[in-house]
């Protein structure tokens, strides 16, 4: 069958569409792999990690993230007299911007803790393969969780999704506690 406007057969039109459709998941997977390699292979923060920084480090810093994108605020806004959809779009943009700021801090703190753990493991007199494996596992889980949060955040900006960051905060707290266990309280610097 020929398309009268272009003179193409149905087979000629289907092949490029099929190839493009098959490449989309492959390209998406490739981007995920590039992100993971970049995120897992880099330590963005400088050491040493001081005891002061470590003692101030807490999940409380990230507690506002758990409520920042909560649907109840948007439901309340919609119920108000004079509500416009532009008001909701503006609030969504502001909340997403604030959430991304917190997320950058969370990633930086997580990376800094992992870098400190890697230094401690490298300088340790005894081999700790179980801890090294746990740190790698948590880094991978954190990177995958981060990808999911970024995707959901993009959808949230469009009004389509909710964002749950509790898993990332739990992973952060896990590595934070691992570092606390390894750093003597009397040490002037952690690593």
pLDDT in tens, 65-74: 999 999 888 8
Residue 122 lies in a domain: yes
Three-class secondary structure assignment of the chain = CEECCCCEEHHHHHHHHHHHHHHHHHHHHHHHHHHHHHHHCCCCCCCCCEHHHHHHCCHHHHHHHHHHCCHHHHHHHHCCCCCCHHHHHHHHHHHHHHHHHHHHHHHHHHHHHHHHHHHHHHHCCCCCHHHHHHHHHHHHHHHHHHHHHHHHHHHHHCCCCCCCCHHHHHHHHHHHHHHHHHCCCCCCECC
Residue 188 lies in a domain: no
Whether the model pTM is above 0.85? no
Does 125 share its domain with 177? yes
Model pLDDT for residues 100-149, shown as the tens digit of each residue: 999 999 999 999 999 989 988 888 888 888 888 999 999 999 999 999 99
Does 84 share its domain with 173? yes
| pLDDT of the residue at 149 | 96
Q: Number of folded domains in the chain?
A: 2
Model pLDDT for residues 22-80, shown as the tens digit of each residue: 556 655 555 544 444 454 445 444 555 677 777 788 899 999 999 999 988 889 989 99
Residue 104's domain comprises 47-182
Does 1 share its domain with 59? no
């Amino acid at each position: 069958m020929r398309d009268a406007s272009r003179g193409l057969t149905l087979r000629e039109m289907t092949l490029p569409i099929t190839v493009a459709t098959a490449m989309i998941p492959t390209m998406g997977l490739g981007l995920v792999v590039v992100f993971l390699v970049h995120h897992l292979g880099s330590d963005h923060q400088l050491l040493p990690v001081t005891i002061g920084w470590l003692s101030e480090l807490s999940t409380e810093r990230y507690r506002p993230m758990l409520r920042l994108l909560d649907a109840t605020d948007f439901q309340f806004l919609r119920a108000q007299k004079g509500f416009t959809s532009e008001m909701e779009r503006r609030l969504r943009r502001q909340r997403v911007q604030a959430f991304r700021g917190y997320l950058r801090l969370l990633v930086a703190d997580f990376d800094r803790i992992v870098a400190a753990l890697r230094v401690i493991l490298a300088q340790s007199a005894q081999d700790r393969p179980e801890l090294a494996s746990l740190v790698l596992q948590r880094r991978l889980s954190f990177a995958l969780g981060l990808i999911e949060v970024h995707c959901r955040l993009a959808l949230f900006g469009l009004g389509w999704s909710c964002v749950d960051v509790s898993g990332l905060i739990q992973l952060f707290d896990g590595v934070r506690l691992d570092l606390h266990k390894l750093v003597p309280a009397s040490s002037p610097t952690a690593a």
